[in-house]
Chains A and B, each alone.
Chain A
Amino acid sequence: MAPRSKGIRSGERARRGARGSGRGAAVPTRVELVLERNVQAPAIARSAIAEHCEELGLGGSLRQSLILLVSEVVSNAVRHSEADPQSAVELLATFGEKMIRVTVTDAGVGGSHARWLWPISAGESRRALGSRVARRHESLVRAVARLSESSENLDLHEAGSARPAGR
């Protein structure tokens, strides 16, 4: 299995001066990935996001949450989509002054297939760990948002479309 993406554009519409300037870099920057639909995709996405956070001087809980979020979103696209296995998963993370927006475009059958799924099913959880865990069927988005002490700056935006993978 070749763990590589079809292409990575870590585009920065920002000045390079954003490096080390901390949260609140004045202009938006973005990470845009076109990933092959395989199990290596989440690690590739995490690596790109981590690198971009480093360039922007973003650290701590915000960085951790973002990496987890992106990893889960890409994982879900890889595992749960009914899309053609040959189609790509596209990830766009836009880093604004006050907000980070993460969009996954999954060329799934019939349109949007970007989903946030907590993979522990309700039935399984009930059997395994009792109702307390079963009730914890909240979205991953809320879960990872809580990981961040600065969640007001972390706008978790889910989106999907039927855009063809070939762009």
Chain B
Amino acid sequence: VPRAPFEIESAHDGQTGRLTLLGELDIATVPRVEEAVDAILQGGTQRLTVDLGGLGFVDSSGLRLFIVLQQRSGAEGWELALTRPQPQALKVFRLSGVEEDLPFVEDASAV
């Protein structure tokens, strides 16, 4: 039985960090993103961009993850930016109304 491939690429330079998510985000893979976020923040990242451009599927636990990250960034004093996922995944953000409440940026390098 094939398992949905999922990868996280992590990079940081000084206080600027980037996580690139590739694959499908669901209850199996959300915890991996949470771990990666914790790790990069512990490394001193103050401005974190999470690149969703490689996500082909996001479920409601994925939506919840980004809402929680946004809350965390405010509470903990770091900056979060998100780039949009592929159209079929973006639809879930749009139709749930979550998109406009999240810090999406047009250009991932803008942060």
Contact = CB atoms under 8 A, between A and B. Distances in A.
Interface of A: 3-5, 8, 39-40, 42-44, 46-47, 64, 67-68, 71-72, 75, 78-79, 118-120, 127-129, 132-133, 136, 140, 143, 146-147
A50 B60 CA distance: 19
B67 interface: yes
A140 B95 CA distance: 11
Nearest to B3: A3
B60 A46 contact: no
A127 B101 CA distance: 13
Given A67-B57, A119-B61, A78 B4 contact: no
Interface residues of B, number: 26
B1 to A, nearest CB: 5
Contacts of A133: 97-98, 101
B77 interface: no
B88 interface: yes
Given A78-B27, A120-B64, A129-B101, A71 B59 contact: yes
